[in-house]
Amino acid sequence: MELFVDSASLDEISHALDTGVLDGVTTNPSKMKEAVELVKKQGKKVSLTAYIKQLCRMCKGLPVSLEVIGASYEDLVREGLLLHRMFNPVAKNVVVKIPVNPQFDTEKHRVHDGIKAIRSLSKKGVRVNCTLVFTPEQALLAAKAGAQFVSPFCGRLDDYIRSSHGMKFSKGEYYPAEGKKRWAKQWNDQGVVSGIDLVAQCVEIFDVHGIKTKVLAASIRNVRQLREAAVVGAHCATMSLETLEAALVHPKTEQGMKKFSDDVVPEYASLFKK
């Protein structure tokens, strides 16, 4: 399973790279906003072109997802090609993030602009990560269009299911993969009971049909969700540096480490002084 960090902060990305087990980076306009604000706070001027080039350079060999901002087929393709032209030459690792569906007016038949853009970009050799996936069928259509990755948004789907039932929760709070039953009624969104269930259904569809597109579990908000994404066979997962590091923490590991350190006799310690 591939592990990605969801960040546009050079500092966070460099800590994540330092683990030696990072497989990629995902960004989005909100992550870029955070990064720009941080640089400004440090009293520095921001050249986002130079900044993104540096980001791509430091991640050489690992895919870096950069997102478009447009909402029509024409803009998605133009911006996707522009991002690819500007940043892919740096380290050949750019993946363009395209929303599965940026148009909501079904009457004008533009609801498929995202899918159409994924098809065009993929045909031109641009790798695509289809983002904002909330149903297995969106994932299927994106895969058919040629996306290399599809990103089901686990945390945000859990938020949606919980809040539509009036449940109060905090960002990052665990929501069970099997969803929730209240008064014998299973909470769900069009038959999907949780973010992890969404990932599981995408993985199953891709397996059954031999689809090569990778399921990138996104909007992973806590360690248990990461584990459950792994259990249901997500090919990749993207998370904050905080969640990635939290995956290494357990009180008994800390206690055990302390006991081993306390028990080191001088004879054993001297072995390491050679």
With tokens 């148009």, the residue in question is: 103
Give the nearer residue to ligand E4P in terms of CB position, either 203 or 229.
229
Q: Which of 47, 161, 27, 33 is nearest to 97 (CA)?
A: 27
* Distance from C-alpha of 144 to C-alpha of 169, rounded to nearest angstrom: 36
Nearest approach in angstroms of CB 4 to ligand E4P is 8
- Is 97 one of the catalytic residues? yes
Sign of CA dihedral 63, 69, 75, 78: negative
- The residues, ordered by sequence, that sit 6+ positions from 26 with a Cβ below 8 Å of its Cβ are 4, 5, 6, 64, 65, 97, 129, 151, 216, 218, 238
Residue 129 Cβ vs ligand E4P, minimum distance, rounded to whole Å: 7
Q: Hey, how many other C-beta atoms are within 10 angstroms of the C-beta on 206? A: 21
Q: Which residues bind ligand E4P (CB under 6 A)?
A: 6, 26, 28, 131, 151, 153, 155-156, 218-219, 221, 238
Gyration radius from the chain CA atoms: 21
Pick the catalytic residue from 33, 97, 171, 180. 97
Cβ proximity to ligand E4P, 171 vs 274, nearer residue: 171
Cβ 219 to ligand E4P shortest distance, Å: 3
The distance of closest approach from Cβ of residue 36 to ligand E4P in the complex, given in angstroms and rounded to an integer, is 16
Classify residue 43 by burial, with Cβ atoms within 10 Å: 0-12, 13-18, 19+: exposed
Which residues are marked as active site?
Answer: 97
